[in-house]
Structure 1
């Protein structure tokens, strides 16, 4: 799946976090597939999430990921926010799964 993230044309790649096995969303440069642009999700091991929910990293190099993933219909608008330190991490519903995304 391709999407626009900030000034980049990206491909969405799926992975899984080692500890929780929750989905991890990676944005890689569509023109240079080995070039990781941003990790669009964040692992929150102490936070209970439903099977179809994901925590989105929308700060630092990943700022803008929430809007880009929503525009591409990958995630819903935030269902809630989880406070982690000084950050409010959006928790969204995944609207697609790894099997529907063409790599």
Structure 2
């Protein structure tokens, strides 16, 4: 299971995170969201230290979902340095989610 965030925590936990953060905008009534939840939990373990993966329930946290322009679930939005660097909507297999993430998780060797 992955951590959840709320409207109240979003700025500190996602926008202020030193790591990239993948946010799954989800809803309890969404079957595709339930389908990818175990995949995201697995990726969270595999990619620990490179990316944080969290879920935000759009029904319980409408302010953040509206500000992000989320219209469909699940929406995956990758935040890096407080900005969305990639976004996709719909359930995807593990390989597709990993391919979506990988270009944004490279380590800057000049830092």
Fold match by TM threshold 0.5:
no
- TM-score, reference length from structure 2: 0.28
Bigger relative CO (Cα 8 Å, ≥ 6 apart): 2
**TM-score of the aligned structures, taking structure 1 as reference length:** 0.29
More helix per residue: 2
More strand by share: 1
